[in-house]
Amino acid sequence: MKPRIIVIEDEAILRMDLKEILTDAGYEVIAEGDNGEKAIELAYQLNPDLMIMDIKMPKMDGLKASKIIKKQSKTPILMLTAFSQKEFVEEAKEANVLGYLVKPISEANLIPAVEIALSQAEKRAQYEDELLQKEQKMNARKQIERAKGVLMKVMKLNEQAAYEKMRKFSMKQQVSLERTAHAILKKYANDM
Ligand SMILES: [Mg+2]
């Protein structure tokens, strides 16, 4: 599937150029805009793979917009800037800005920057996914341990027997051990 990109740039000619370069390179430009407010709206509505956004724009600049976008979605952003500004680079780190390009923009500098931003965004998404899975596993383990403790107390079982009881119940009901744990914790919540 073609990566879906949104282009936000207030100079109409440059915006057209960007769109053409990206389309020729095999990307899909799904929307475009000329100010930060529009960028926020489009990022939220369309959830693109990448947003390419100018900094200096009317109504709302690109930096402010990218900070708001970060609060609402994971949209990665590649910034366009007229000069290399140190303070901007620092500020951009707080938002989801994965890179920036200094104008003038050409095919030669745009496409590699887009490729890098897309691959960084993918890596980041994978990492966040793994982190979430780890967290869920850890929570499940905690729940199971707690439920086992409850059973030991309520039914006066040793650890092994309590665990076996939960395991057998899960198999019989064809539910996960975590769900059984959850049910036990709910059932005995008032007794504890
Ligand atoms: Mg501008």
For residue range 63-99, list pLDDT tens digits in order. Answer: 999 999 999 988 999 999 887 666 676 677 767 788 8
Taking the C-alpha atoms of residue 5 and residue 144, their distance in angstroms, rounded to an integer, is: 44
Residue 40 Cα to ligand 1 midpoint, Å, equals: 16
Asked whether residue 180 carries a pLDDT value surpassing 90, the answer given is yes
Residue 9 Cα to ligand 1 midpoint, Å, equals: 6
114-143 mean pLDDT:
94
The confidence score (pLDDT) of residue 84 equals: 66
Find which of 83-87, 100-104, 187-191 is predicted with most confidence, using mean pLDDT: 100-104
The confidence score (pLDDT) of residue 85 equals: 64
Across 82-96, 112-126, 128-142, 159-173, least confident range: 82-96
The confidence score (pLDDT) of residue 86 equals: 65
Residue 53 Cα to ligand 1 midpoint, Å, equals: 9
All CATH 3.40.50.2300 domain ranges in the chain, comma separated: 4-105
Residue 55 Cα to ligand 1 midpoint, Å, equals: 6
Task: Identify the residue with better confidence: 18 or 81.
Answer: 18
From residue 99, how far is each of 45, 47, 50, 140 by CA, in Å? 23, 18, 11, 37
Residue 62 Cα to ligand 1 midpoint, Å, equals: 9
Sign of CA dihedral 172, 173, 176, 181: negative
Taking the C-alpha atoms of residue 64 and residue 169, their distance in angstroms, rounded to an integer, is: 54
104-116 mean pLDDT:
95
Residue 166 Cα to ligand 1 midpoint, Å, equals: 63
Residue 108 Cα to ligand 1 midpoint, Å, equals: 21
Taking the C-alpha atoms of residue 130 and residue 113, their distance in angstroms, rounded to an integer, is: 26
Residue 82 Cα to ligand 1 midpoint, Å, equals: 8
Residue 21 Cα to ligand 1 midpoint, Å, equals: 18
Residue 31 Cα to ligand 1 midpoint, Å, equals: 17
Across 23-37, 92-106, 115-129, least confident range: 92-106
All CATH 1.10.10.10 domain ranges in the chain, comma separated: 132-187
Residue 127 Cα to ligand 1 midpoint, Å, equals: 33
148-167 mean pLDDT:
94
41-59 mean pLDDT:
95
Residue 74 Cα to ligand 1 midpoint, Å, equals: 24
Residue 118 Cα to ligand 1 midpoint, Å, equals: 23
- Reported confidence tier of residue 44, pLDDT bands at 50, 70, 90: very high
Average pLDDT, the chain: 92
Residue 86 Cα to ligand 1 midpoint, Å, equals: 18
Asked whether residue 166 carries a pLDDT value surpassing 80, the answer given is yes
Q: How many CA atoms lie within 13 A of 32 on its CB side?
A: 18
Query: Could you give the percent of the chain with pLDDT greater than 70?
Result: 94
CATH of domain 132-187: 1.10.10.10
Domain 4-105: homologous superfamily in CATH: Response regulator (3.40.50.2300)
Residue 58 Cα to ligand 1 midpoint, Å, equals: 8
Across 19-28, 84-93, 172-181, least confident range: 84-93
